[in-house]
Amino acid sequence: MSNKKPTSPVKASTQSFIEIEEIKDDVILMKDFSAATVVEISAVNFWLLSQEEQGSIIYSYAGLLNSLSFPIQILIISKRMDISSYLDYLENRISKQMNELLKNRLASYREFIKAIVKINTVLEKRFFFVVPFSPLELGISGANTSSLNKEYVLSRAKTSLYPKRDNLIRLLAKIGLRGTVLQQQQLTELYFNLYNPSATGRRLAPVESYTDVISTTT
């Protein structure tokens, strides 16, 4: 009788469930050879504006969306703010402050911030426009993705995405919003935190410092 214990089957790695194939420059390439570029939008404190200003922004934003000739995805991320570094900054300023009056006021301000955070959850909101690229835009060759070359798709995706992205940024500027194109480091951190959610998010070391690990079976 064999005493060999049954072994569990090899399970797929986490990477097999992630749709992203590669992030190159400012373009995300998916495993199905679709691609996208991401533009982060500056926020506006809408409730501090007058009623006329609010109405103007709403109509301008609606006009922007109606003027687009290509699809976009709107992404909003809310996460709890980590203010520990700001409190450390205040503590450092208090310890170096020689004026006793200013020192006491800084200390009171620090305690005020601590009290606010205990009572209310302070959230950071980030707003993004995602501009997509479909392999079908490549024509007949895009219908058969198995024959596509990754570098070729990235090159054609940039040719398609960049004019759309730049047009979107210009339209945003007309209504007083600033658009910033996310680069490789920022995109990597964005998707890392989406796939690995935490209370306040994580910053990553420069992506160039990471090395690829390839697992093979023997």
Question: Do residues 135 and 177 share a domain?
Answer: yes
Q: For residues 81 and 198, is the Cβ–Cβ distance under 8 A?
A: no
Q: Which of 121, 151, 181 is the last residue of a domain?
A: 121
Q: What is the mean pLDDT of residues 198-208?
A: 74
Q: Which of 90, 121, 152 is the last residue of a domain?
A: 121
CA angle 29, 32, 38 (to 5 degrees): 30
3-state secondary structure labels for all residues of the chain: CCCCCCCCCCCCCHHHHCCEEEEECCEEEECCCCEEEEEEECCCCHHHCCHHHHHHHHHHHHHHHHHCCCCCEEEEEEEECCCHHHHHHHHHHHHHCCCHHHHHHHHHHHHHHHHHHHHCCCEEEEEEEEEEECHHHHCHHHHCHHHCCHHHHHHHHHHHHHHHHHHHHHHHHHCCCCEEECCHHHHHHHHHHHHCCCCCCCCCCCHHHCCCCCCCCC
Question: Do residues 133 and 182 share a domain?
Answer: yes
pLDDT at 211: 64
Read off the pLDDT band of 214 (50, 70, 90): very low
Residue 49 lies in a domain: yes
Residue 45 lies in a domain: yes
pLDDT at 213: 47
Expressed as residue numbers, the domain containing 117 is: 82-121
Question: Do residues 182 and 104 share a domain?
Answer: no
pLDDT at 142: 57
Question: Minimum mean pLDDT among 9-23, 40-54, 143-157: which range?
Answer: 9-23
Q: Which residues have CB under 8 Å from 195's CB, separation 6+?
A: 18
Query: How much of the chain, in percent, has pLDDT values that exceed 70?
Result: 84
Question: Do residues 180 and 110 share a domain?
Answer: no
Residue 78 or 168, more confident: 168
Q: What is the mean pLDDT of residues 115-141?
A: 82
Question: Do residues 151 and 183 share a domain?
Answer: yes
Residue 69 lies in a domain: yes
Question: Do residues 150 and 94 share a domain?
Answer: no
Q: What is the mean pLDDT of residues 67-89?
A: 86
Q: Which residues have CB under 8 Å from 90's CB, separation 6+?
A: 106, 109, 110, 113
How many structural domains are present in the chain?
Answer: 2
Q: For residues 33 and 135, is the Cβ–Cβ distance under 8 A?
A: yes
Residue 10 lies in a domain: no
Question: Do residues 69 and 160 share a domain?
Answer: yes
Q: What is the mean pLDDT of residues 38-62?
A: 87
Question: Do residues 132 and 157 share a domain?
Answer: yes
Residue 147 lies in a domain: yes
Residue 213 lies in a domain: no
Q: What is the mean pLDDT of the chain?
A: 82
pLDDT of 154 strictly over 70: yes
The size of the chain, in residues, is 218
Question: pTM of the entire structure?
Answer: 0.73
Question: Do residues 181 and 87 share a domain?
Answer: no
Q: For residues 178 and 41, is the Cβ–Cβ distance under 8 A?
A: yes
Q: Which of 97, 121, 145 is the last residue of a domain?
A: 121
pLDDT of 196 strictly over 90: no
Pairwise CA distance, residues 183 & 132, whole Å: 16
pLDDT at 193: 85
